[in-house]
Amino acid sequence: MKDNAMPILRNGIRVMRGISRDLYEFINGKPLMTPPFVGGTLEAEDARRAQIWLRRREQWYDPDPVVEFEEKFADWNGSKHARAFMGGRVALSAIIHALGLGDGDEVLLPGYTCIVVPNAFHYANVDITYADIELETFGPSVDAFAQKISDRTSAILIHHLYGLVCRDYEGLLQLADENDLYVIEDCTHATGATFRGKKVGNYGDAAFYSSEHSKCLSTVQGGIATTDDDSIAARLGAYARSADYPRPRRLERLLYTLLLDYYEESHPQRWWVKYAYQLLYGNKRLKSTTDAEKKSVRPDFYGQRMPAPLASIGVDQLTKLPKYNKIRRESAAKWDRWSHNHGYETPYVLEDSQPSWLRYPLLVEPERKKDTSWAVEKLGVEIGDWFRTHLHPVERSVKGCPNADHAVSCCINLPTILK
């Protein structure tokens, strides 16, 4: 009882502050509920699984649910092999290891990415060179990448941001092929996006996906590495086998964070239910990226593999992906009409591709990115403040990438799950 009294008191103070802020905003015209920003794909079944797993500690490190998730993901994605880790960033680290990249190697990265991507290369002592993006899908520009290739370049990273299949996909694959470079695909926004009928991530040497709570599916934190190459897969497997699972205290907090996401962002009555849940468990929330990580320091718990409870939720989330990706496509069509009516260029959809539409990106006036409160008022949604800098979310800029500069000041993103 004594153990519980302090957190509840502290949670209580936080909840009171939350209620007064919500009330104040409501009085000033903000809707009681805006569409979910994280965890939008979580449903009652996922919350139920989290509750059950919280009572089933003796099975937290069973391998079977993890193998099931990996096999089902590989199958769903059309990949030969998949391995689940505690983050897309960790899956990327596993891929870097599996490709044997390290001292003396150099990778070309788009100068518009998440800090955790260069971090993974930095932790492996791989040198990083940034090249510019294009402004149609915010993917790597093939011309900019071609110019930056040197004798030391070993790999390029292709991403499909916001779920749009990148404009120069074929050109980049060809460029890598001609220069004998590995292709790593960052599909953290693009789980389920296709090109020529095949899922993205199956065109390069290896790819990573994310089940972090702001991505296409949620296990709160998590990521999957895929490949069709048996020897790369064997090395991914060795990396996974030598990795730890999150320790019980951390895993418990991850499960509570998932429940908090569900009750705060996805539950049909969340405008009030969230307060009850926050009061009981609000102190358990974990952040996806620690402050140290933002400074490129490798956290102690980095490099872990996914444990059974999260894999079991992943299995359930995977069955819902087609449904949510369909909802996202319908919302994108709605935003297309809105953009059209308001004089904004709609996002570019590469021929023969189907985006996953994690978010709907738009280039708008810089004032509309600086202060996004207009969107709640006009559209009833909160706008993603992703990529206010070149290396989201840290204040670090990348030189020599004028298109990325433009996207940093003008690219906003709208939600595509509008419940």
Query: Which residue ranges make up the site for ligand PLP (CB under 6 A)?
Result: 87-89, 113-114, 116-117, 159, 186, 188-189, 210, 212, 223, 288
Q: Considering the complex, what minimum distance in angstroms separates the CB of residue 290 from ligand PLP?
A: 12
By beta-carbon distance, which residue lies closest to ligand PLP? 88
Phi, psi of 416 (to 5 degrees): -120, 0
Q: Considering the complex, what minimum distance in angstroms separates the CB of residue 209 from ligand PLP?
A: 8
CA distance 354 to 349: 7
Closer CB to ligand PLP, 35 or 223, in the complex: 223
Closer CB to ligand PLP, 85 or 262, in the complex: 85
Q: Give the HSE-up count for residue 260: Cα atoms under 13 Å, Cβ half-sphere.
A: 20
Closer CB to ligand PLP, 113 or 202, in the complex: 113
Closer CB to ligand PLP, 219 or 353, in the complex: 219
Closer CB to ligand PLP, 210 or 266, in the complex: 210
Q: Considering the complex, what minimum distance in angstroms separates the CB of residue 145 from ligand PLP?
A: 17
Q: Where are the alpha helices (DSSP H) in 262-307?
A: 270-281, 291-294
Q: Which residues pair with 255 in a beta bridge?
A: none
Closer CB to ligand PLP, 91 or 381, in the complex: 91
Q: Considering the complex, what minimum distance in angstroms separates the CB of residue 268 from ligand PLP?
A: 27
CA distance 143 to 365: 27
Phi, psi of 406 (to 5 degrees): -65, -45
Q: How far apart are the first and last CA of the chain?
A: 38
CA distance 327 to 325: 5
Q: Considering the complex, what minimum distance in angstroms separates the CB of residue 210 from ligand PLP?
A: 3
CA distance 354 to 231: 30
Cβ(200)–Cβ(194) under 8 Å? yes
The rounded Cα 183 to chain-centroid distance in angstroms is 19
Q: Considering the complex, what minimum distance in angstroms separates the CB of residue 287 from ligand PLP?
A: 11
